[in-house]
Structure 1
Protein backbone atom coordinates (compact mmCIF):
# COMPACT_ATOMS: atom_id res chain seq x y z
CA UNK A 1 0.00 0.00 0.00
CA UNK A 2 1.32 3.45 -0.86
CA UNK A 3 1.00 6.60 1.22
CA UNK A 4 1.25 9.04 -1.70
CA UNK A 5 -1.48 8.19 -4.20
CA UNK A 6 -1.55 11.20 -6.55
CA UNK A 7 -0.29 10.57 -10.09
CA UNK A 8 2.14 13.07 -11.61
CA UNK A 9 1.83 14.61 -15.06
CA UNK A 10 3.71 13.15 -18.00
CA UNK A 11 7.24 14.42 -18.38
CA UNK A 12 8.52 13.38 -14.94
CA UNK A 13 12.31 13.32 -14.73
CA UNK A 14 14.29 10.47 -13.15
CA UNK A 15 17.87 11.15 -12.05
CA UNK A 16 20.27 8.44 -10.86
CA UNK A 17 23.37 9.26 -8.81
CA UNK A 18 25.91 6.50 -8.10
CA UNK A 19 27.69 6.73 -4.75
CA UNK A 20 31.32 5.71 -5.01
CA UNK A 21 34.53 5.92 -3.04
CA UNK A 22 37.86 6.38 -4.74
CA UNK A 23 41.50 6.51 -3.74
CA UNK A 24 44.22 8.20 -5.80
CA UNK A 25 47.60 6.47 -6.01
CA UNK A 26 50.90 7.63 -7.44
CA UNK A 27 51.44 7.65 -11.19
CA UNK A 28 47.77 8.55 -11.79
CA UNK A 29 46.24 5.25 -10.71
CA UNK A 30 42.82 5.31 -9.10
CA UNK A 31 40.82 2.62 -7.29
CA UNK A 32 37.01 2.93 -7.20
CA UNK A 33 34.26 0.99 -5.45
CA UNK A 34 30.57 1.28 -4.57
CA UNK A 35 29.71 3.09 -1.38
CA UNK A 36 27.23 1.07 0.66
CA UNK A 37 24.66 -1.61 -0.04
CA UNK A 38 22.51 0.62 -2.27
CA UNK A 39 25.02 2.60 -4.30
CA UNK A 40 22.71 4.08 -6.95
CA UNK A 41 20.31 6.67 -5.54
CA UNK A 42 17.29 7.79 -7.54
CA UNK A 43 15.38 11.05 -7.45
CA UNK A 44 12.34 12.18 -9.41
CA UNK A 45 11.19 15.66 -10.37
CA UNK A 46 7.41 15.46 -10.60
CA UNK A 47 4.74 17.92 -11.71
CA UNK A 48 1.10 18.04 -10.64
CA UNK A 49 -1.34 20.46 -12.28
CA UNK A 50 -4.83 20.31 -10.81
CA UNK A 51 -7.51 22.29 -9.08
CA UNK A 52 -6.44 24.44 -6.13
CA UNK A 53 -8.23 22.06 -3.77
CA UNK A 54 -6.36 18.99 -5.06
CA UNK A 55 -2.99 20.76 -4.99
CA UNK A 56 -3.71 21.96 -1.44
CA UNK A 57 -4.19 18.31 -0.38
CA UNK A 58 -0.82 17.35 -1.89
CA UNK A 59 0.82 20.41 -0.31
CA UNK A 60 -0.69 19.53 3.09
CA UNK A 61 0.60 15.95 2.80
CA UNK A 62 4.14 17.11 1.96
CA UNK A 63 4.08 19.80 4.65
CA UNK A 64 3.09 17.20 7.25
CA UNK A 65 6.10 15.06 6.21
CA UNK A 66 8.34 18.20 6.37
CA UNK A 67 11.11 16.64 4.28
CA UNK A 68 12.00 14.37 7.18
CA UNK A 69 9.40 11.61 7.38
CA UNK A 70 9.55 9.10 4.55
CA UNK A 71 6.54 7.74 2.71
CA UNK A 72 5.85 5.09 0.09
CA UNK A 73 5.07 5.94 -3.53
CA UNK A 74 4.71 4.00 -6.79
CA UNK A 75 7.51 5.08 -9.12
CA UNK A 76 7.14 5.64 -12.86
CA UNK A 77 7.25 1.85 -13.42
CA UNK A 78 4.60 1.20 -10.74
CA UNK A 79 7.15 -0.22 -8.29
CA UNK A 80 6.81 0.74 -4.62
CA UNK A 81 9.67 2.89 -3.40
CA UNK A 82 10.43 4.69 -0.13
CA UNK A 83 11.03 8.42 -0.62
CA UNK A 84 11.27 11.77 1.12
CA UNK A 85 10.40 15.14 -0.40
CA UNK A 86 12.94 17.78 0.65
CA UNK A 87 11.68 20.42 -1.77
CA UNK A 88 8.51 21.44 -3.61
CA UNK A 89 7.00 24.59 -5.06
CA UNK A 90 3.48 25.78 -5.85
CA UNK A 91 2.55 28.12 -8.70
CA UNK A 92 -0.88 29.53 -9.42
CA UNK A 93 -1.60 28.96 -13.13
CA UNK A 94 -4.96 30.77 -13.13
CA UNK A 95 -7.90 31.28 -10.77
CA UNK A 96 -8.89 27.62 -10.74
CA UNK A 97 -5.68 25.73 -11.59
CA UNK A 98 -2.49 25.38 -9.55
CA UNK A 99 0.77 23.57 -10.32
CA UNK A 100 2.97 21.84 -7.77
CA UNK A 101 6.48 20.64 -8.62
CA UNK A 102 8.16 18.25 -6.18
CA UNK A 103 11.46 16.40 -5.87
CA UNK A 104 11.22 12.87 -4.44
CA UNK A 105 14.48 11.31 -3.24
CA UNK A 106 14.79 7.58 -2.73
CA UNK A 107 15.81 6.52 0.75
CA UNK A 108 16.71 3.22 2.36
CA UNK A 109 15.65 2.50 5.92
CA UNK A 110 14.73 -0.60 7.91
Structure 2
Protein backbone atom coordinates (compact mmCIF):
# COMPACT_ATOMS: atom_id res chain seq x y z
CA UNK A 1 0.00 0.00 0.00
CA UNK A 2 1.29 3.44 -0.92
CA UNK A 3 -0.56 6.72 -0.32
CA UNK A 4 0.72 10.14 -1.40
CA UNK A 5 -0.52 13.20 0.47
CA UNK A 6 0.29 16.82 1.22
CA UNK A 7 -0.99 19.20 3.85
CA UNK A 8 -1.05 22.98 3.73
CA UNK A 9 -0.56 25.53 6.49
CA UNK A 10 -4.33 26.10 6.51
CA UNK A 11 -5.22 22.47 7.29
CA UNK A 12 -6.88 22.24 10.69
CA UNK A 13 -4.36 19.79 12.18
CA UNK A 14 -1.53 22.27 11.56
CA UNK A 15 -3.31 25.31 12.99
CA UNK A 16 -1.76 26.31 16.30
CA UNK A 17 0.85 23.54 16.17
CA UNK A 18 3.95 25.68 16.69
CA UNK A 19 2.80 29.06 15.32
CA UNK A 20 5.48 30.67 13.21
CA UNK A 21 7.14 27.29 12.55
CA UNK A 22 4.27 24.88 11.82
CA UNK A 23 4.73 21.13 11.68
CA UNK A 24 2.25 18.31 11.16
CA UNK A 25 1.51 16.72 14.57
CA UNK A 26 2.83 13.23 15.20
CA UNK A 27 -0.55 12.08 16.49
CA UNK A 28 -2.13 13.13 13.19
CA UNK A 29 0.49 11.13 11.27
CA UNK A 30 -0.25 7.98 13.30
CA UNK A 31 -3.98 8.48 12.74
CA UNK A 32 -3.29 8.83 8.99
CA UNK A 33 -1.43 5.52 9.08
CA UNK A 34 -4.36 3.87 10.84
CA UNK A 35 -6.97 5.28 8.44
CA UNK A 36 -4.99 4.31 5.35
CA UNK A 37 -4.40 0.81 6.72
CA UNK A 38 -8.15 0.40 7.37
CA UNK A 39 -8.95 1.56 3.83
CA UNK A 40 -6.45 -0.83 2.25
CA UNK A 41 -7.22 -3.81 4.51
CA UNK A 42 -10.84 -3.38 5.64
CA UNK A 43 -11.00 -6.79 7.33
CA UNK A 44 -8.10 -5.93 9.67
CA UNK A 45 -7.40 -3.33 12.34
CA UNK A 46 -4.24 -1.98 13.87
CA UNK A 47 -4.28 -3.05 17.50
CA UNK A 48 -1.27 -0.96 18.58
CA UNK A 49 1.80 0.82 17.28
CA UNK A 50 5.26 0.02 18.65
CA UNK A 51 8.80 1.18 17.99
CA UNK A 52 7.46 4.52 16.74
CA UNK A 53 10.21 6.92 15.68
CA UNK A 54 9.93 10.49 14.39
CA UNK A 55 13.41 11.18 12.94
CA UNK A 56 12.33 14.41 11.22
CA UNK A 57 9.27 16.67 11.07
CA UNK A 58 6.73 16.87 8.27
CA UNK A 59 6.29 20.49 7.27
CA UNK A 60 3.17 21.89 5.60
CA UNK A 61 3.56 21.88 1.82
CA UNK A 62 5.92 18.91 1.69
CA UNK A 63 4.76 16.02 -0.52
CA UNK A 64 4.73 12.90 1.64
CA UNK A 65 4.40 9.20 0.88
CA UNK A 66 2.94 6.70 3.33
CA UNK A 67 3.85 3.08 2.71
CA UNK A 68 2.87 -0.11 4.47
CA UNK A 69 4.58 -3.47 4.36
CA UNK A 70 1.80 -5.95 5.18
CA UNK A 71 1.16 -9.35 3.65
CA UNK A 72 -1.18 -10.74 6.30
CA UNK A 73 -0.59 -12.01 9.78
CA UNK A 74 -0.26 -10.00 12.95
CA UNK A 75 2.48 -7.50 12.09
CA UNK A 76 2.91 -4.58 9.72
CA UNK A 77 5.59 -1.96 9.14
CA UNK A 78 4.57 1.54 8.15
CA UNK A 79 6.50 4.66 7.30
CA UNK A 80 6.07 8.15 5.95
CA UNK A 81 8.77 9.64 3.78
CA UNK A 82 9.47 12.97 2.13
CA UNK A 83 11.66 11.92 -0.74
CA UNK A 84 14.26 9.69 0.93
CA UNK A 85 13.89 11.41 4.32
CA UNK A 86 12.06 9.38 6.98
CA UNK A 87 9.42 11.38 8.83
CA UNK A 88 7.91 8.55 10.89
CA UNK A 89 8.34 4.81 11.03
CA UNK A 90 6.39 2.36 13.16
CA UNK A 91 5.63 -1.28 13.66
CA UNK A 92 2.01 -2.24 14.15
CA UNK A 93 0.35 -5.26 15.66
CA UNK A 94 -2.64 -6.21 13.53
CA UNK A 95 -5.84 -7.79 14.79
CA UNK A 96 -7.27 -10.62 12.76
CA UNK A 97 -10.88 -10.39 11.48
CA UNK A 98 -13.39 -11.04 14.21
CA UNK A 99 -11.06 -10.10 17.06
CA UNK A 100 -13.59 -8.61 19.50
CA UNK A 101 -10.90 -6.60 21.31
CA UNK A 102 -10.68 -4.04 18.48
CA UNK A 103 -14.09 -3.97 16.85
- Which has the higher Rg, Structure 1 or Structure 2? 1
After TM superposition, is the score higher than 0.5? Answer: no
Compute the TM-score of the two structures, normalised by the length of structure 2.
Answer: 0.31
Compute the TM-score of the two structures, normalised by the length of structure 1.
Answer: 0.30
Higher strand share: 1
